[in-house]
Amino acid sequence: MNPEILTQLAPTGTLRVGLNMANNLLNTGTTTTGEPDGVAPDMGRTIAKLLGVPAVMVKYASPGKITDTAGKNEWDLGMIGAEPKRAEAIDFSAAYVEIEATYLVPAGSSYNAIDEIDQDGVRIAVSGRSAYDLFLSRHLTNADLVRAQGVAGAVELFKKNALEALAGLRPALVAESGNLPGSRILDGGFMTVQQAIGVTKGNTAAATFVAAFVEKSKANGLIASLIDKHGVTGKLSVGSSHL
């Protein structure tokens, strides 16, 4: 192995894995020792094993917090969605898993399709600085985004202010719909969140190593096995191949 890979990925002698704890599809529980567990932590642990160093899980409340600390020597791998704005500070692999983002509308809503939502007067509750918030910020031309802290905050805002739509990851919206009688989740999605592994911008050796690891893990079935292991089959999809 190129020694520069280890220098860039584990400068402290450990691999610090930055986790977005707001994503409970990738971080689904805890280990017997109380450490975060799930597809994302296991991907980090696998990379640490390849490097021959211990893995340390570094927990963040949101993906924006991971982006904000890029290059500040807090984490070595950032386990968040690849997104152009974030890529200004982070070099990302291709997606190892994908998650569809769509809208939930309240009971009695006249909206039936994704492309009907971007209209004047439509207010969309969204988790601020999520990958889908950043996407919608670039692409919506008429509807207004109303941001909250985290998914729970967006749901509360949607209910409290009787907003016209709630944007989110489909599995999360499915879970919430049971608490919102009469609500509907629109067919299809406005984007697919590309959950990737990021490294500090400019660490070329590290980025190349991680990118190759992700592609190999898709091809050899590792990611599919982790999805099954952590009970998120049907909620996460293995990322498309970039070989």
Q: Report in angstroms the alpha-carbon separations of 185 from 83, 113, 118, 188.
A: 24, 9, 16, 9
Residue 227 lies inside a defined structural domain of this protein: yes
With CA atoms as reference, report the closest residue to 43 among 175, 176, 225, 168. Answer: 225
Same domain, 123 and 137: yes
pLDDT digits (tens, 9 = 90+) for 71-117: 999 999 999 999 999 999 999 999 999 999 999 999 999 999 999 99
Same domain, 78 and 93: yes
pLDDT digits (tens, 9 = 90+) for 167-225: 999 999 999 999 999 999 999 999 999 999 999 999 999 999 999 999 999 999 999 99
The parent domain of residue 72 ranges over 3-97+192-238
Residue 164 lies inside a defined structural domain of this protein: yes
CATH code at position 81: 3.40.190.10
**pTM attached to this predicted model:** 0.88
Partnered with residue 81 across adjacent β-strands are: 195
Residue 229 lies inside a defined structural domain of this protein: yes
Same domain, 196 and 89: yes
With CA atoms as reference, report the closest residue to 50 among 213, 221, 220. Answer: 213
Give the number of domains in the chain.
2
Residue 84 lies inside a defined structural domain of this protein: yes
